[in-house]
Structure 1
Amino acid sequence: MTDPTPAWLTLDEIAAQEAELELVSLTNDDAWDLGCTLVEVAQARQAPVTIDISRGDQTLFRAALAGSSIDQVSWIERKTRVVRHFGHSSLYVGQECRDAGVSFDDKHALEPELYAAHGGGFPLVVTGSGLVGVVVVSGLPQLDDHALVVEALRRFLGTAPDGEPARD
């Protein structure tokens, strides 16, 4: 089962995560390693998620775990578009709207069938290159999707808190 849903994060907390989790590179091998880390974390929680990592328009990694559904692919595509359009995590963009007291749809007038400002989409920023890709998890409540990505990125980068294995 998944861990209890984390508390809502502030924009500053989400922005700090985005800054903390910058990559040195995003090669195909890096995407594979990050994807495998996400799968390990999700399987340990028995999370019925779909995971996607892309660089530009190329999908580098995708996995659908036990219990996941085809509907999650649409959510992945919609969250990916939000990250690419705004350059922030999908949770950040959604929280920005919640803080302003307006819906994402009303504020940005983007087609809801194409864009979803729900947690789980995270920018893959390479130092010196900017936003180069997106990692997305879909299938859990949005805060859990986001937390799973953050935890896996920390493990991948070797910055996970004590008790969490770092990347080899």
Structure 2
Amino acid sequence: MTAPTTLLDQLREQEHRLVFDGFDESTAWTVGSTLRATALGLELPVAISVRRNGQRLFHTALPGSSADNDAWLERKCAVVDRFGHSSLLIGEQFRQGGTSFEAGSRLDPDRFAAHGGAFPVLVRGTGCVGTIAVSGLPQRADHDLVVRVLADHLGVDLT
């Protein structure tokens, strides 16, 4: 396998490899709780959301986060729901195409935000069934936190 060379290649590889065999309420709780414990341990001011088929299965807001983070979670998750890919990947596709997501997608920026932090819940043989999202840090840090916890949970080495 060739190592990813661009950010877009890296993001596609993450989605290719971070796939669940199944995703139920128990899995959502475990992943959400692990994200929460990791963020608490690092004293990160984030909000976390785990959803499946539009139903919120896990949500938490840590010290330093605000209602604005909840709004960002909704907007980033709306991008994953619409496109089936991470919010960072979609934003990067538009940037590499020479435009911004806001200008190129023509979607309402009050409802959609292609900023890093929302990752698709991908189930083998099914596809995207939900989202795992973090808001409160710079977009790459939000994305990287989700990916790191998913990689650990799924036993995937992304290095």
TM bucket by the smaller chain?
Answer: over 0.9
User: Match for 2:65 among 60, 63, 68?
Assistant: 68
Moved over 3 A (4+): none
Match for residue 131 of structure 1?
A: 128
Say whether 1:100 aligns with 2:93: no
Aligned 1:76-115 pairs, distance under 5 A:
76-115=73-112
Offset at residue 108 of structure 1 (A): 0.7
How far, CA to CA, are the matches of 2:19 and 2:156 in structure 1? 11
Which residue of 147, 151, 155 corresponds with 1:154? 151
Corresponding residue number in structure 2 for 1:32: 29
Deviations 1:1-54 (A, max 9, x none): xxxxxxxx6111000001110011110000000001101211121110000000
Whether the aligned pair in 2 keeps the contact of 1:51 and 1:137 (CA below 8 Å) is yes
1:143 and 1:62 map into 2 onto residues whose CA distance is 21
Give 1:57 shift.
1.2
Q: Is the 8 A contact 1:50 1:62 kept in 2?
A: yes
* TM score, norm. by length of structure 2: 0.93
Distance, in Å, in 2 between the alignment partners of 1:130 and 1:73 is: 25
- Provide structure 2 residue ranges, at least 5 long, that are not aligned to the other structure: 1-5
Aligned residues: 154
Looking at structure 2, the residues matched to 161 and 39 of structure 1 have their Cα atoms a distance apart, in angstroms, of 21
Q: TM-score, normalised by structure 1?
A: 0.88
Q: CA separation of 1:92/1:58 partners in 2, compared to 1, >3 Å: closer, same or farther?
A: same
Q: Secondary structure at the match of 2:64?
A: coil
